[in-house]
Amino acid sequence: MCLKVLLFFPEPTDCSRFFRLGVKGASFQSCEKTTLCYLSSWVCDGNNDCGDFSDERNCPDKRKLKCPVNFFACPSGRCIPMSWTCDKENDCENGADETHCESKTCSPEAFQCPGSHMCVPQRWKCDGDKDCPDGADESVKAGCSETCNDSAFMCHNGKCLNETLLCDRNDDCGDGSDELNCFINECLNSKLSGCSQLCDDLKIGFKCRCHPGFQLKRDGKTCVDIDECTTTYPCSQRCINTHGSFHCLCVDGFELSPNDPTICKSTSGKEPYLIFANRYYLRKLNLDGSNYTLIKQGLNNAVALDFHYAEQMIYWTDVTTQGSMIRRMRMNGSNMEVLHRTSLSNPDGLAVDWVGGNLYWCDKGRDTIEVSKLNGAYRTVLVNSGLREPRAVALDVRYGYLYWSDWGDNPHIGRIGMDGTNRSVIIEDKITWPNGLTLDFINDRIYWADAREDYIAFSSDTRKLFLSQDIPHIFAMTLFEEYIYWTDWETKSINRAHKSLGTNKSTLISTLHRPMDIHIYHPYRQPEVLNHPCQTNNGGCSNLCLLSPGGGYKCACPTNFYLANDQRTCMSNCTAKI
């Protein structure tokens, strides 16, 4: 995933920083009078991406472009995503995107963020954290302070008055403030109003507004650009903020969908599909739910699973009170073998390290995270303290980290080097029963689902809750392209929704038994890590070669063995005593 940079203008902005976006063949140029950057394909497209019109000068054709499929055309000619329509926010200049819309509300147990489809638990209101995109859950709209609502006028004495009683020659306030300065149109004089863009005249006073893509500063008058890329996350991959709007780009191996330029689609030629555990079966399912087939049957209680795409292998845990096992076989059903059957209690999470050739799992009965080679050899315990109910594990082999979820007495999401170093808790606030866990390698995000609070959220630089309705008991989840997929115990179903907006939610299939773990089977879910030492002669290690944070590695030994002075060879404790 690399970006070929051909030309940059160092002033006023160094656009070479966009090299890190990993978009192949893209060359950004700097705008003349703003700090924004643009692509040559954005020149003369009718959009003022720079904010100073430097990308729209000397254009041969001034005709408006036709909006693509799945985009809504505003009367002005501006194109907005269909997902922005009927979201209670006027994105078109005249509000045309909000006409003929049915009312959409949250459940009584949730607070609906104004101007969006997002719902947050009532107990999150007025707690000091802005959970709504615009922080409305900490505002007057959420009842966080004693003041008047938007449809009321606040008298000078603090009394709230219905706006219909203003300027009616009656002193309804009791201090006469509802009859002062009536019917003066301050909007006729921009110097009087101070509004930088739009102005709405009121019976008493006025209110400043902004064009779509902008928001008011705290002074209530000045409009500034909204960085959609860091607030609403509209793009499935890379996002470039522009003046009043944004552009989406794709990394190598993907291309923008012709039907929706916010979505990146795979160009690999390999068909992706879902694989999931269904207690007595392992099954696969097309991403649209159209083809539902069997991989393996006759299991006792298949819970966790993962795969090794290059080797065409599938791994799973079979959990029973009589004795649990970790197994593997080829995707065609051949070569089935048992990897572990002793000292296992309740292995709920499983993850394949396709670079180092190792297998990681968590056991909520033993309160451990353990590792062995993919063939089951050289088993050892990586974490044996501080865990209560470890549920899921996920690996980021690019950076050498393992993530886990724990819904015990101190529920949290943790992170540790795949070699057992650099352990930390990364999420512990507003989390009760973290079940599902998956990683978005392209956007560097960690996704988790809370089966008690009934929400799905992700975290990169900031935390964003994007789905909190009709998800009664998530167990596991995975993602690919623009969708996140999950299994639900209560509805016994597999579902999907947009991975950052929460839109286009649908049920792919309902099953007879509780669906357990789930993965997307595709090579892009196991990206290559080129020239890693563990890939050549096992890094020189006699037993385990474990990836370390930062691209290195560490040799490790199975239980009851230790590393010799060469830090490569494992020796048994018995040998040490001789």
Tens digits of pLDDT across the chain (578 residues)? 333 333 333 355 677 766 556 666 567 888 877 778 888 878 887 777 787 677 777 776 544 445 655 567 776 556 666 656 766 667 676 677 777 665 556 666 677 887 666 677 776 777 666 677 777 777 767 777 556 777 788 888 878 888 888 898 899 999 888 888 888 888 888 778 889 899 998 888 888 999 999 998 888 888 999 999 988 899 999 999 999 999 999 999 999 999 999 999 999 999 999 999 998 999 999 999 888 899 999 999 999 999 999 999 999 999 988 889 999 999 999 999 999 999 999 999 999 999 999 999 999 999 999 999 999 999 999 999 999 999 999 999 999 999 999 999 899 999 999 999 999 999 998 899 999 999 999 999 999 999 888 899 998 777 888 888 888 899 999 999 999 999 999 999 999 999 999 999 999 999 878 899 999 999 999 999 988 999 999 999 999 999 999 889 999 999 999 999 999 999 988 754 44
Query: Any bridge partners for residue 360, and if so which?
Result: 351, 371
Residue 526 tokens read as 């196991």
Q: At 17, give phi and psi (nearest 5°).
A: -65, -20
Residue 314 tokens read as 């599938």
Which contacts (CB < 8 Å, 24+ apart) does range 135-139 have?
A: 137/111, 137/113
Q: At 341, give phi and psi (nearest 5°).
A: -140, -10
Q: At 546, give phi and psi (nearest 5°).
A: -105, 130
Asked if residues 305 and 525 have their Cβ atoms less than 8 Å apart, the reply is no
Give the DSSP H or E segment for 519. strand 518-521
Q: What is the 3-state secondary structure (H, E, C) of 292-316?
A: EEEEEEEEEEEEEEEEECCCCEEEE
Half-sphere exposure in the Cβ direction for 263 (13 Å, CA)? 20
User: Residue 220 CB: number of other CB atoms within 10 A?
Assistant: 10
The per-residue pLDDT for 30 is 84
3-state helix, strand, coil in the chain (%, to 5): 10, 35, 55
Give the whole-angstrom CA distance, residue 134 versus residue 448.
22
> Which of 28, 40, 39, 36 is closest to 52 using CA atoms?
36
Fold observed for domain 268-525: Neuraminidase (2.120.10)
In Å, how far from its chain's centre is CA 247?
18
Residue 565 tokens read as 């002075």
Asked if residues 400 and 421 have their Cβ atoms less than 8 Å apart, the reply is no
Altogether, the residues listed in the chain come to a count of 578
Q: At 248, give phi and psi (nearest 5°).
A: -105, 145
Residue 551 tokens read as 């691209």
In the chain, DSSP finds a helix count (H) and a strand count (E) of 3, 43
Query: Any bridge partners for residue 414, and if so which?
Result: 404, 425
Single-letter amino acid, residue 335: N
- The DSSP string of 364-429 is TTTTEEEEEETTS-S-EEEE-SS-SSEEEEEEETTTTEEEEEE-SSS-EEEEEETTS-S-EEEE-S
Q: At 83, give phi and psi (nearest 5°).
A: -65, -15
Give the DSSP H or E segment for 192. helix 190-193
The per-residue pLDDT for 210 is 93
> Which of 363, 392, 357 is closest to 378 using CA atoms?
357
User: Position of tokens 């038994």?
Assistant: 513
Q: At 390, give phi and psi (nearest 5°).
A: -65, 130
Asked if residues 432 and 442 have their Cβ atoms less than 8 Å apart, the reply is no
Single-letter amino acid, residue 345: S
Q: Say whether 523 sits in a helix, a strand or coil.
A: helix
Give the whole-angstrom CA distance, residue 10 versus residue 33.
13
Residue 409 tokens read as 């007495």
Contacts of 515 (CB under 8 A, 6+ apart): 276, 277, 278, 475, 487, 488, 489, 492, 493, 494
Give the whole-angstrom CA distance, residue 18 versus residue 249.
11
Asked if residues 296 and 282 have their Cβ atoms less than 8 Å apart, the reply is yes
> Which of 213, 265, 219, 275 is closest to 244 using CA atoms?
213
The per-residue pLDDT for 5 is 34
Residue 121 tokens read as 């638990």
